[in-house]
Every structure is written in C-alpha cells, then in structure tokens.
Amino acid sequence: MSGSELSDDLLALLRTVDTPTVCNAIEVAQGKRGFNRFTRGTMQHSKPGDPAIVGFARTARISGLAPPVEAADVIRARRMDYYRAIAGGNGPTAAVIEDVDYPNCIAGWWGEVNVAVHKGLGLAGAVTNGVLRDLDVIDDGFPVLAGSIGPSHGYVHVVDIGTEVSIMGMRVAQGELIHADRHGALVIPFDVIPDLKRAIETVIASENIVLGPARAPGFDIDKLEEVWAAFEAART
C-alpha cells in the first residue's frame, strides 16, 4: 500500500485525534474487541501535545552499547544506505527504529542532528524503543516517541534496514501504517482503512453520549444510569 491510497481527509483526521481514539476505532471497524498491535509500557515524547505521528513505516535496527564488529567503511556505507532508504517512497512516512540493545539502550540516535535530517528528508516523525536526547534544541515539527531519554550517542550504528522491527511489544513491517502520540504507538491494519473515518466518528459520537451530560450542570447517578445504557448500546 502507498501513501497515495490514504485519503487527504482521513490523513487530516488522523493527525487531529489521539492514539487511544484510533485504537478504539480500529475495534469498531473490526466489529470486536481484542486489537493488540500497540506498544506496551510508558514511553517518552519529545513534544507532548504535538499532533499525532501518522505515516507509513520506514524501518531499521540500530545498536550502540558496544562498538560495531564490522569494518568502519561498511558501517559508514550502511548509514548512507539507511538515509537513502528512509527518504524513499510515497508519503506520509515515519521512521520506526528498533534499538537491539533494549532494555539496555544507551545510544541517542534521536537528537538534534538526526531530527533535523529526517525532518528535512520529509518524514513526519519517529518511533523507537531507544534513546532520545537534545530535548531543548531539537527542531519543532518532528515528534519523536522513544523508549528512554539519555545523554550519550554511545557507539550507535545501523545494523540493518527495512526489516520487521519490534518496538515495546509492537511488531512493525516496512510500509505498515502507524499512529503515535504521547500515549504510545499502534499499527493501523490496512483492511480497516476504508472504514476508519466512519469508525473514528462513531467512537467520538458514542463517548459524547456520556461526556455531554457528565460535564453539564445537574449530572447525578440517575442521569448516569440513563446515559450509560445508551453508551453501552453504542460502543464496541
């Protein structure tokens, strides 16, 4: 699937809603609970409150806990191959980078330089189980969702490019569509995309059955019992 198959109105909507809403909407589109392609645990966000990261995954794996065992020229060449691969394909795209040293990651691949480079190459953001640094100086407009925050780049180097990666329990293949914000990240299955806009609208409308009365004057347990029945009937 290519970025051209993600409609402009759906892309705009996905950028305005949070990842929990998308998670619920996927279940609405699938007609059942149990969707589980999302990250586990608390992650660190570079710019909490930024619009969600929405993009087709450009994947790679890195390491930085120990020096690479391959020749320096091989490592340098692979880094440039990585940038070429990251820059390719139809947008929107997002970097999804696994640090194979997890949970002992020390290497801040995501800092001032790589944020600027990836933003300049047209990516929408990044998701990683690895380290984020340079929080005060990284560019706006390129959110990073990371496994941790730290000061060092260690011996960071690219291990491989375009392979399936694992980020905090979420497996992602090259080209899959992701949605991420400060709550975490998830993979949007291709088969729900045609129904996703309707499903998001359904989630928002069903939650408003409770939210409207709960935030209005005079709300009490009797009113809750009344609206909760309608809410239960409307949700997945």
Do residues 216 and 13 make contact, with C-beta atoms less than 8 angstroms apart?
A: no
Do residues 145 and 53 make contact, with C-beta atoms less than 8 angstroms apart?
A: yes
Token representation of residue 99:
């640090």
Phi, psi (deg, nearest 5) at residue 86: -65, -35
Helix/strand/coil for 198:
helix
Confirm or deny that 84 is annotated as ligand binding.
Answer: no
Task: For residue 10, count other CB atoms closer than 10 A to its CB.
Answer: 16
For 14, 24, 157, the CA distances from 64, given in Å and listed in that order, are: 33, 36, 6
Max Cα–Cα distance, the chain, nearest Å: 72
**Whole-angstrom distance, CA of residue 212 vs CA of residue 10:** 25
Residue with tokens 């305005």: 16
Amino acid at position 228, single letter: W
Confirm or deny that 134 is annotated as ligand binding.
Answer: yes
Phi, psi (deg, nearest 5) at residue 58: -110, 110
**Whole-angstrom distance, CA of residue 123 vs CA of residue 182:** 18
Pairing of strands 93-99, 53-63: parallel
Helix/strand/coil for 72:
helix
Known binding site for Mg(2+): residues? Answer: 134
Q: Which residues does the annotation place in the binding site for substrate?
A: 133
**Residues of each annotated binding site:** 133-134
